Homo-oligomer: A and B are copies of this chain.
Amino acid sequence: MSARHEERLARVALSRLAEPGDPKITGLVSRMGAVSLHQHLLEERELDGALSDVATRLEGLDPQRDLDWAERRRIRFVVPGDEEWPRQLDDLARTGDWQGCGGAPLGLWVRGPVRLDEIEHSVAIVGSREPTTYGTDVAADLAAHVAEQGVPVVSGAAFGIDYAAHRGALVGEGLTVAVLACGVDRVYPQAHAALLGHIAEHGAIVSELPPGAAPMRMRFLSRNRIIAALARGTVVVEAAARSGALSTARWSDRLSRRLMAVPGPVTSAPSEGTHHLIRSGAAALVTRGEEVMEQVAEAGQHAVADPRGKVRSRDRLPAADAQVLEAVPVAQPAQADSISRTAGINLVGVQGALLRLSRDGFVVQTPRGGWVLGPAGLRD
């Protein structure tokens, strides 16, 4: 068995053992590695002569069977080191825990065609489960605008603002990603069966929890940190004083992502949370999709520290990539062959350059396959 596969199996087993975001487990994995930790926990029984509870549970698991079962259902388990691994999640390893939850996930179970390494310029749109019509309208409008610009919309598939955000992204014919607090094979909430089915076909359904896992209150809190970490910025549309959306906001802030909030009537309870975020200086006030785009573009520009070295200056690009970048339009998407003609570089060369440029955020591919400038490309 390859080391990579061993790693994957250890992570499957550990993710069945521990609650998502358990800071003890994520901390140990980060320090000693998943395989060592797994081994160590299995051998625990030898340490005290009797089979420990943890070892018993680990013994009863069959991670390979889990992976096979998932594969038959077109569910994949993405772990650090995989090409698809969304490296922005590694930021979670550096932000500590909050309310007993923290750390990078052991892996993400994914259903759907969108690759997670392609959504680092995404925007999360979250909010109240009991919004006003105003709130759902604004959330859907913002999502549609953002999605039209080729920026994926991340949310939690919950009632209210989440639903409006996913729906808006689909209206904008863009990508949308739902991060669940239960297994990706489960339909929760049940009323969103059609939406979830659609996202599984055209976007991605993501969870830190293994297939079959049930939604639980604490799992929503750990799920919120994944939403905040996946996206470059989070927009809170409506959130009452103790709304779960405020935990996503808090994670976004901890992760130095761009936090945004939509104002509303001061007489409306669901706007109290967003007004508080703005008043306290935690969130920028946004009223339109253009302002959201501006904020996430800036977020790249002003990122305090970018561990992935993604914020690269345009003039440090290889000459051919810079030439291709010059040929990518600002707004109206162009296909690779058209860019090839404009740049005077052959198609294979252009495709390679576009791939590199998109990893660094200089260009973004739209759902229809065209290319436009990305947040990094729109700068200066």
Can you list, as one digit per residue, whether each of A268-311 has a CB less than 8 Å from chain B (1) or not (0)? 00011001001100001111100100000000000000000000
The secondary-structure label for the interface of chain A is mixed
**Number of residues in A with C-beta < 8 Å to the partner?**
20
Bound Cα distance A275, B138 (Å): 15
Query: Counting chain B CB atoms within 10 Å of each CB, which of A275, A285, A286 scores highest?
Result: A285
Query: Counting chain B CB atoms within 10 Å of each CB, which of A134, A265, A279 scores highest?
Result: A265
Which of chain B's residues have a CB closer than 8 A to the CB of A263?
Answer: 263-266, 271, 275, 278, 285
A137 touches B (CB below 8 Å): yes
A239 touches B (CB below 8 Å): no
Partner of A288, one of B134, B266, B287: B266
Q: Which residue of B lies closest to A288 (CB)?
A: B266
Q: Which residue of B lies closest to A272 (CB)?
A: B287
B279, A275: Cβ atoms closer than 8 Å: no
Q: How many copies does the complex hold?
A: 2
Q: What's the nearest-Cβ distance from chain B to residue A6, in Å?
A: 51
A267 touches B (CB below 8 Å): yes
Q: List 18 contacting pairs A-B, 8 Å CB cutoff, sorted by A.
A: A134-B265, A134-B267, A137-B267, A138-B267, A262-B266, A263-B266, A263-B275, A263-B285, A264-B264, A264-B266, A265-B265, A266-B287, A275-B287, A278-B278, A278-B285, A279-B284, A279-B285, A279-B291
Bound Cα distance A271, B134 (Å): 15
- Residues facing B in A242-266 (CB within 8 A) are 262-266
Bound Cα distance A263, B264 (Å): 6
Bound Cα distance A331, B137 (Å): 42
Chain A interface residues (CB < 8 Å from chain B): 134, 137-138, 262-267, 271-272, 275, 278-279, 284-288, 291
Query: Counting chain B CB atoms within 10 Å of each CB, which of A271, A272, A279 scores highest?
Result: A279
Q: Which residue of B lies closest to A271 (CB)?
A: B263
Bound Cα distance A356, B116 (Å): 68
Which of chain B's residues have a CB closer than 8 A to the CB of A287?
Answer: 266, 272, 275, 279
Which of chain B's residues have a CB closer than 8 A to the CB of A285?
Answer: 263, 275, 278-279, 285
Query: Counting chain B CB atoms within 10 Å of each CB, which of A263, A286, A291 scores highest?
Result: A263
Which of chain B's residues have a CB closer than 8 A to the CB of A284?
Answer: 279
Bound Cα distance A103, B262 (Å): 38
Bound Cα distance A287, B271 (Å): 10
Which of chain B's residues have a CB closer than 8 A to the CB of A264?
Answer: 263-266
Q: Which 8 A-B pairs have the closest CB atoms?
A: A263-B263, A266-B287, A279-B285, A278-B285, A275-B287, A134-B265, A265-B265, A264-B265
Which of chain B's residues have a CB closer than 8 A to the CB of A275?
Answer: 263, 285, 287
Bound Cα distance A272, B291 (Å): 13
Which of chain B's residues have a CB closer than 8 A to the CB of A272?
Answer: 287
Q: What's the nearest-Cβ distance from chain B to residue A299, in Å?
A: 15
Q: What's the nearest-Cβ distance from chain B to residue A348, in Å?
A: 45
